[in-house]
Structure 1
Amino acid sequence: MAPKRSNKDKGLTSMYKCLETGAFSDLIITCGNKTWNAHRVVVCPKSSFFRAACNGNFKEAATGVINLEDDNPLVVKLMMEYFYKDWYTIGKLPAGSPSTLSVHIQVHRLGDKYGIEELCDLADGLYCKYLRREASFEEYVASIPEVYQPPVSEHLRQSATNHARELMGKNFFTDEWRTILKRVMKEIPEFCFDVIEAVFTAPIPILCEECRDEQINIGMDSCHVCGVILE
């Protein structure tokens, strides 16, 4: 038996259908070759930028058309999905698109640009979730310079540095990975400082070869699970 949907879920679905069909639209948002027939009552409460554009003495308020010509249509599409669903899903990216981690970072920056604080928080959380569960080491490393481009998100920064700290304690952390991370730390001193700070705050867990427990910190004399003496 399918779970019952809440009234909020039903309402969000109905609003998204209005976006897809253009029913009752009173605001047109364009980006590149994409056009969304949107609704001020949905968009404006969530964004200080759109609220000001629609209520102030701007041409957009009179014409009902806002052109986001400097933005990435893919990222704007995710922003529009968030407006109507309180969520966004990246799905399978077209060939030549940025990585999934990069898209989450770009969504955060778009949310910051247009005064959508909740979208920034959502993008930060999804970046962290994807980083821990699905991202390859190569994708992670490629995202670090983008994380540290201003304006910097403290949440993204913390996720990137904590992931480095956790990787260092894994038995599959190779010498090649160590060399690559050292290079990135040299290129981005702020990242290096953050990783050192993260290690001092929460020491790197190491693996007990006897019982395979990972909750052992550098500096411990013996494994607290099996009691084996650590070298």
Structure 2
Amino acid sequence: MDKNDRFLSSDEKLLETGLFSDVVVKCGDKEWKLHKAILCTRSVWFEKALTGQFEEATSGVITIQDFQPEAVEWVIRYIYTGVCDIATLRGPEKMTMTNFVTCFEVHSVADFFALSPLAKIALDTLTAEFDTKLPAIQLQQESCKEWLPELCEAIRLVYEDIPISDTAVTSIRKAFVSFIHTARYYFMKEPRFTKFLDEEAPLLSLDLFRAMRATGDFIAHPLDPYCSFCKNKPSRAEKGYYTHIAPEPLKLTACCSNCAVKKDFPSGMQDWLAKDTRALG
């Protein structure tokens, strides 16, 4: 155990025991006996609350009403330990098929408390899960039907209370748009998802339109699960699986990693890896 780990372990002990606490944080029916020195040096939000002209600075009691106690627990534990394993936050009794909703909730609470490293953990975890699912969906090896309700619930939360005129795309919103846009040929064939778009997510529809307009891609041809060059079908573990919209004729072209290395493309397509390719592996 290095020096930093020892310090964090000691901080975690202070969190668990409440020894030497000088501030109380309350949320719902739960409260934590905490330490100003730790909170203020690791969160700008707590620093302002406990050192400014606010009542909390003199009373030593902070009441949080914007989040559920569970989310506040995530923040406090991260502040004291520097660790956040999103996959285990819910506990075995609340296990889900994906981490879509949890990633959004962690990102939201981290953003509120000005904890950019925690927000990055949430965004990176979400992006990694999207990247894992994309090749399987693109190669038609996996259906989105089982986890589609969780995706829709996460999208509801992302777009909640955002006016239709809002064009400021946050990083978490951009991640969801990118995922749906990349696999749009398959999501748009799923009746439950198109119904969800029509009835509950008009702003996502607008974001998808903007994404297609930005890439100049309005075609809706499914991607051939076989490499367009060697005609082999990449496996689920294939790394570096690419899609590309060839300019002439306008169609989707697939390329496995072996052909990508060889760069054995038809005339006029030698530079498409550098310009227009999305790596899905």
Classify the TM-score, shorter chain: 0.7 to 0.9
Out of 187, 196, 217, the position equivalent to 1:184 is 196
Q: What letter is aligned with 1:28?
A: V
- Give TM-score, length-normalised by structure 2: 0.64
Note if contact 1:131-1:140 (Cα within 8 Å) is conserved in structure 2: no
* RCO comparison, higher one (Cα < 8 Å, 6+): 2
Specify the alignment match of 1:161 in structure 2. 177
Out of 224, 243, 251, the position equivalent to 1:216 is 243
Q: Distance in 2 between matches of 1:87 and 1:119?
A: 9
Q: Count how many residue pairs are aligned between Structure 1 and Structure 2.
A: 219
In the alignment, is residue 201 of structure 1 matched against residue 236 of structure 2? no
- Give TM-score, length-normalised by structure 1: 0.76
Note if contact 1:53-1:61 (Cα within 8 Å) is conserved in structure 2: yes
Q: Distance in 1 between matches of 2:53 and 2:35?
A: 19
Report deviation, 1:202. 8.8
Report deviation, 1:119. 3.0
| SS state at 1:8 partner | helix
Q: Distance in 2 between matches of 1:95 and 1:221?
A: 40
| SS state at 1:216 partner | strand
| SS state at 2:62 partner | strand
Q: What letter is aligned with 1:107?
A: V
**What percentage of residue pairs aligned between the two structures are identical?**
22
Encode CA deviations 1:107-158: one digit per residue, 9 max, x unaligned.
3222333333333333222333344448923211221121122577611111
Q: What letter is aligned with 1:158?
A: K
Q: What letter is aligned with 2:105?
A: Q
| SS state at 2:25 partner | strand
Note if contact 1:128-1:156 (Cα within 8 Å) is conserved in structure 2: no
Note if contact 1:147-1:153 (Cα within 8 Å) is conserved in structure 2: no
Alignment root-mean-square deviation, CA: 3.4
Specify the alignment match of 1:47 in structure 2. 43
Q: Distance in 2 between matches of 1:223 and 1:127?
A: 25
Gaps of 5+ in 2: 134-143, 163-167, 235-240, 267-281
